[in-house]
């Protein structure tokens, strides 16, 4: 089973529309350009950029004028099998019909041909059926910046001459000509990109031939944190990579929490209170601060590890009580059905033996994976307890005569931290090796399989009681074939683990 992948769709604001259109649609500038599709002629985009710039000047807003917006849509690599022109037309017309705006799109591969993607530029304005003309009722005066001023004196120099760059529009002439509507505010909303991701992911999945390769939309409201994309020649690449490392640490801790039995609701509460709410408050107060965000995630990790430790202690206390109770009590006697009890009437037809569903067949392998997760989690916990013990010793080694002992303990603590980090990484990789994106995804399948397996066992037991027959256990050959298939799947998934490691859109 291949790893389930999230769809990748990002949006950016364009401040140089003409230059961007030329870049994505030029064979001279794109060595792997397969198709270009336009819903209107190029003159539309020239007029659109001009309209946006003029309105931006009139508004007096600081910053850069947004002339249009662009989506980059990553496609499954198998989509190269589809005819490029038809594929691009499908995706572009889909957007135009859904949002009723003009588009221009291009279908690309990156340099190494590892990222098949679409650049789709769209307008935030619509063309009016007829231009709206504004006629001057008196002489109109404009300064060098294009700003309208009240009197002629404001645009004259000391010699009484019109300053360079200033202009006068006489009464009765057109002083403003609008070809477009105002910008559609929905394209600025936070929900727009989420909507686009879901609709395009659904569209992509229609044309994915193998159900196992269908894409999912990352749930930003879930327990995991998304990884940030490091684009080509990104000046903040190091900062993003450092940010991704701490995000990975959180995700690995979430995997551990699930294996330990921490309820998803509690994990989500930690994420929302320690990361979401505090990060939002910090941004509102002092803007984005990567260093502060990292510290928030680390605090959340410590909070989650505290919950994991609490679960381990409860489990240990419960096990001690069960052992003590078992030692005091006598073993229960299993009631055995009398031999001469009739199995079933001879006239009744013999029922068919229950059949295994696909989930039931998977259960032995899933149970094996689950056991590996539990053992690894237990091993991590033991290492963490060792680290706590060493740190206590370090705190107790004070004074100049214990310098050597303190140094040795500090080295031991560093080794334990490195081991723990490596073990946490391995825990998450266990399920990834079997094709699951994370532990949560695996546990959904595991618990469903376990429930079906329990029902199947009950059905088999009932069948045996009704017929007096014994159901055949799995043969050695079938178990061997299952093991060989498991090894084959793991090898395939190891190779696909690095699939598309270069996803940078150009």
User: Which whole number is the average pLDDT over 172-199?
Assistant: 88
On the question of pLDDT at 143 being above 70, the answer is yes
Residue 186: is its pLDDT beyond 70?
A: yes
Per DSSP, 230 falls in state: -
Query: Which residues are CB-contacts of 103 (< 8 A; sequence separation ≥ 6)?
Result: 37, 38, 39, 92, 95, 96, 120, 121, 122, 123
Does 231 have pLDDT greater than 80? Answer: no
pLDDT at 66: 95
What is the pLDDT, as a whole number, of residue 381?
A: 92
Residue 12's beta-bridge partner residues? Answer: 70
Average pLDDT over residues 111-115: 86
Max mean pLDDT among 131-145, 251-265, 330-344 falls in 251-265
Residue-wise pLDDT for 414-436, tens only, equals 999 999 999 999 999 998 888 88
Helices assigned H by DSSP within 261-357? 264-271, 277-286, 290-328
pLDDT single digits (tens) 288-312: 788 888 899 999 999 999 999 999 8
Give CA angle at 366 (361, 368), nearest 5°: 115
Among candidates 236, 233, 328, 226, which has minimal Cα distance to 276? 226
**Is residue 108 a contact partner of residue 46, using CB atoms and an 8 Å limit?**
no
Query: pLDDT (tens digit, 9 = 90+) per residue, 25-50?
Result: 999 999 899 999 999 999 999 999 99
Q: Is the pLDDT of residue 341 over 50?
A: no
User: For residue 256, what pLDDT is reported?
Assistant: 92
Whether residue 338 is predicted with pLDDT greater than 50 in this model: the reply is no
DSSP 33: E
pLDDT of residue 291: 82
Type and span of the H or E element at 453: helix 439-467
E-state strands within 85-126: 103-109, 116-122
pLDDT (mean) for 122-127: 94
The terminus-to-terminus CA distance of the chain in angstroms comes to 31
Q: What mean pLDDT is predicted for residues 377-404?
A: 87
Q: Which residues of 119-148 are buried (b: 16+ CB within 10 A; e: fewer)?
A: bbbbbbbebeeeeeeeeeeeebbbeeeeee
What pLDDT was estimated at residue 487? 61
For position 342, what pLDDT does the model report?
46
| DSSP letter, residue 111 | T
For residue 460, what are its two tokens?
Answer: 């088999």
> Which residue did the predictor score with more confidence, 406 or 473?
406
pLDDT at 461 over 90: no
pLDDT of residue 255: 93
Instruction: Give the DSSP letter of residue 213.
Output: G
Output the pLDDT for position 460: 87
The residue-averaged pLDDT of 338-356 equals: 62
In sequence order, the 6+-apart residues with CB closer than 8 A to the CB of 285 are none
The whole-number pLDDT of residue 347 equals: 53
Taking residues 79-101, report their average pLDDT.
95
- What pLDDT does 394 receive? 87
* pLDDT at residue 385 is higher than 70: yes
Ramachandran angles phi, psi of 470, nearest 5°: -110, 125
Beta bridge partners, 74, equal 117
Looking at residue 130, its pLDDT comes to 78
Residue 148 is predicted with a pLDDT of 83
């Amino acid at each position: 089973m291949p790893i389930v992948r999230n769809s990748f769709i990002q949006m950016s604001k364009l401040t140089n529309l003409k230059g961007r259109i030329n870049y994505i649609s030029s064979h001279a500038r794109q060595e792997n350009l397969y198709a270009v599709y336009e819903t209107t002629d190029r003159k539309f985009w020239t007029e659109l950029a001009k309209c946006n710039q003029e309105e931006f000047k009139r508004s007096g807003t600081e910053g850069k004028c947004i002339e249009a917006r662009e989506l980059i849509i990553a496609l499954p690599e198998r989509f190269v099998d589809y005819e490029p022109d038809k594929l691009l037309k499908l995706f572009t017309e889909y957007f135009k019909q859904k949002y009723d705006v003009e588009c221009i799109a291009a279908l690309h591969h990156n340099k190494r041909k590892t990222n098949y993607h679409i650049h789709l530029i769209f307008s935030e304005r619509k063309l009016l059926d007829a231009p709206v003309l504004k006629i001057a009722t008196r002489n109109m005066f404009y300064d060098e910046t294009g700003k309208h001023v009240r009197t002629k004196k404001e645009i004259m120099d000391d010699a009484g001459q019109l300053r360079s760059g200033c202009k006068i529009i006489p009464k009765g002439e057109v002083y403003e000509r609008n070809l477009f509507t105002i910008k559609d505010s929905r394209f600025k909303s936070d929900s727009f990109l989420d909507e686009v991701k879901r609709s395009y992911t659904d569209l992509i999945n229609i044309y994915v031939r193998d159900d196992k390769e269908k894409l999912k939309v990352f749930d930003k409201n879930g327990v995991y944190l998304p990884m940030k994309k490091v684009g080509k020649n990104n000046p903040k690449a190091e900062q993003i990579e450092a940010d991704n490392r701490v995000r990975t640490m959180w995700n690995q801790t979430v995997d551990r929490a699930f294996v330990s039995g921490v309820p998803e609701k509690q994990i989500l509460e930690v994420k929302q209170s320690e990361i979401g709410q505090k990060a939002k408050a910090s941004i509102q107060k002092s803007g984005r601060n990567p260093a502060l965000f990292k510290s928030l995630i680390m605090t959340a990790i410590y909070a989650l590890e505290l919950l994991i430790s609490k679960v381990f202690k409860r489990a240990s206390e419960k096990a001690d009580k069960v052992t003590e109770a078992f030692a005091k009590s006598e073993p229960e006697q299993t009631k055995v059905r009398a031999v001469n009890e009739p199995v079933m009437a001879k006239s009744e037809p013999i029922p068919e033996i229950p059949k295994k569903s696909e989930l039931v067949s998977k259960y032995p392998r899933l149970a094996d994976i689950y056991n590996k997760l539990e053992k690894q989690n237990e091993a991590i916990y033991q290492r963490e307890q060792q680290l706590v013990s060493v740190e206590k010793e370090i705190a107790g080694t004070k004074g100049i005569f214990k310098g050597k002992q303190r140094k040795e303990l500090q080295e031991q603590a560093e080794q334990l931290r490195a081991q723990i980090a490596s073990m946490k990484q391995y825990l998450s990789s266990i399920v990834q090796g079997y094709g699951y994106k994370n532990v949560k995804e695996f546990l959904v399948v595991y618990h469903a399989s376990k429930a079906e397996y329990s029902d199947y066992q009950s059905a088999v037991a009932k069948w045996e009681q009704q017929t007096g027959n014994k159901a055949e256990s799995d043969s050695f050959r079938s178990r061997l074939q299952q093991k060989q298939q498991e090894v084959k799947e793991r090898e395939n998934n190891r190779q696909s683990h690095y699939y598309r490691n270069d996803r940078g859109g150009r």
